[in-house]
Amino acid sequence: MRNGRIILLNGTSSAGKSTLAKALREALTEPFCYYASDQLADGGFRAIKQKTPHAGLSNERARFFDGFHRSIVSFAEAGNDIIVEHIVEEAGWARQLRALFAHLDTFWVGVHAPLAEMERRERERGDRTIGEARYHLKTHDYCRYDIEVDTTEPLHSLVSSIIETWRARPSATS
């Protein structure tokens, strides 16, 4: 069985990753799974902080993301093609992901939008901490991309550009 392929969308909070991931999934002719750490968190996967301090809970976030990164590899090694939505918050995460994905066909997409637009989206959504997008801008310092997109451009154009560049990647023909 072949390993699955990974299309990793990385960008700040409110950059438009979820919208882009869902549109890509619809447009690709191959079946792709969609995976994001928010799915696990929203599903109640993460540890609940107790009223009294619990030994080891302070490292819960690091353990969660270490497991999330490793689970991406597991899904791909099981043969699943997967679109991953992520915010690579630390340089160490970028190094870990590059090492974990070294043997996998991984296509990195940098998802951008102007800061003013992301801040507008934060305010309109109402479920974001204001300033989160600004804080996450550092993510782009840690990653090298196969393509970068600006989500203020028309969605169909972004999807077409990503798919065209993804299909033209060297590993697509090997």
Contact 35, 85 (CB under 8 A): yes
Residue 122 pLDDT more than 90?
no
Host H or E run for residue 150: strand 147-150
Q: What is the C-alpha separation between 94 and 101, in angstroms, rounded?
A: 10
Q: What is the C-alpha separation between 106 and 172, in angstroms, rounded?
A: 11
Query: Quick one: pLDDT at residue 48?
Result: 62
Residue type, 32: F
Contact 94, 140 (CB under 8 A): no
9 bridge partner residues: 85, 109
Contact 81, 25 (CB under 8 A): no
Residue pLDDT, tens place only, 82-110: 999 999 999 999 999 999 999 999 999 99
* Closest CA relative to residue 128, chosen from 35, 15, 39: 15
Rounded CA Rg of the chain: 17
Residue pLDDT, tens place only, 128-149: 778 888 888 888 899 999 999 9
Distance of CA 160 to the CA centre of its chain: 19
Contact 120, 16 (CB under 8 A): no
83 bridge partner residues: 7, 34
Contact 65, 100 (CB under 8 A): no
Predicted model pTM: 0.89
107 bridge partner residues: 7
Using 50, 70 and 90 to split pLDDT, how confident is the model at 76? very high
Identify the residue whose tokens are 């990164």: 69
Q: Mean pLDDT, to the nearest integer, of 76-81?
A: 97
